[in-house]
Amino acid sequence: MSDKQRRLLITGIIIIGVILLFRLMNRPQAPTMFPETPQERPQQKADAYEVDPSLPKGERDNTPECLVPEADGNRIFKENDVLLDASHMEDGYIMVKCGADASKIKMQVTAPNDVVYTYNLYPGTGYTTIPLSLGSGTYHVGVYSNIQDNMYVTIFSQDLKVTMEDPLSAFLYPNTYVDFDADSTVVKRAADVCYPVNDDLEAVAAIYDYVTSVLEYDYEKANTVKSGYIPDVDKVLSDGKGICFDYSSVMCSMLRSQKIPARLEIGYAGSLYHAWISTYIQEVGWVGGIIRFDGNDWSLMDPTIAASEGTEELESFMDNSQYRTLYMY
């Protein structure tokens, strides 16, 4: 590493340290375990948000762009009342629906890296959009019907050989965990908060600041949420509170509607279960873990440092050896 690179790295670390210290000093502190009475911080009402008329329009185009998953019927696989539409595999998603008469239907997608993603299917509710998060490769899709207790029987099995036209598209389309459309409130809010920004990095920071200012952590929900829970992003905004999954889904929905590819990632940092968001910035590439949740609090990497530091220096600062991604949505 050259002296210039070393000075840039040290400067970046100092700036990040100051930013994190400022955030810690100005946020309520949460212990490792959830407190019985969480501290409160002023919240801005999500549905009352308005653009400050004194702010000039930024250089960046904040017009929303909401891609719409489609089941065209051009590539269909059917077995035992399960219908899989693979017409848009090359765009990073498949669509599945089930008409089976069963109270519990599970679907598992085995990605090219052999990681298994598990989803719930609900008969009679139409298509569910499933992301193909690992890009090109062979995916295996299995659907299973519950027969009793924790026993399931296979009712559908299919291998899919996927050649992705654009690996980023899977992280621009909505899916079952990041569900939004052109009429969603989160889409309008994203356009509002991005009105004064000049580039994608500023948009990421603006959306982060907005979501963390209008939502408060729902400790009761965190202790009572059931397996299979899927966020309703507009309801989360309306309620003004949510769990880490809710925050992540809202942020990803807003980022994607602003044409910024965003991955909702779940895994471990050391021995602790974490959630974080990675975004793709033009001329920078994927910025891993730019928005993180550590089980108690959210944090934002300084976007300026994320853009200016080289890959080696950035990974050194983030200590990515401690971060192990299990799932991407």
DSSP 239-294: HTEE-HHHHHHHHHHHHHHTT--EEEEEEEETTEEEEEEEEEETTTEEEEEEEEE-
Tell me what pLDDT residue 27 has: 37
Q: Is the pLDDT of residue 3 over 60?
A: no
Report the pLDDT value the prediction gives residue 324, as an integer from 0 to 100.
78
What token pair was written down for 190?
Answer: 């994203």
Per-residue pLDDT reduced to its tens digit, 10-20 = 344 333 443 33
**Is pLDDT above 70 for 25?**
no
Report pLDDT digits (tens) over 161-198. 999 989 999 999 999 999 999 999 999 999 999 999 99
**How much is the pLDDT for 198?**
95
Q: What are the tokens at 289?
A: 């873990």
Average pLDDT for residues 240-268, to the nearest whole number?
Answer: 92
* Lowest-confidence region among 30-39, 85-94, 132-141, 168-177: 30-39
Question: Mean pLDDT across the stretch 207-224?
Answer: 90
The tokens for 9 are 């790295």
Highest mean pLDDT: which of 157-161, 274-278, 307-311?
157-161
Confidence of residue 21 (pLDDT cuts 50, 70, 90): very low
Tokens 């654009």, residue located:
166
Classify the phi-psi angles of 233: left when phi > 0, otherwise alpha if psi is within -120 to 50, otherwise beta. Answer: alpha
Select from 294, 288, 237, 215 the least CA-distant residue to 20. Answer: 294
Amino acid 46: pLDDT: 63
Mean pLDDT of 143-170: 94
**Structural domains of the chain, ranges and CATH numbers in brackets:** 45-65+176-328 (3.10.620), 76-166 (2.60.40.10)
Residue 288 binned pLDDT confidence (cut-offs 50, 70, 90): confident
User: 257-278 burial, b if ≥16 CB within 10 A, otherwise e?
Assistant: bbbbbbbbbbeebeeeebbbbb
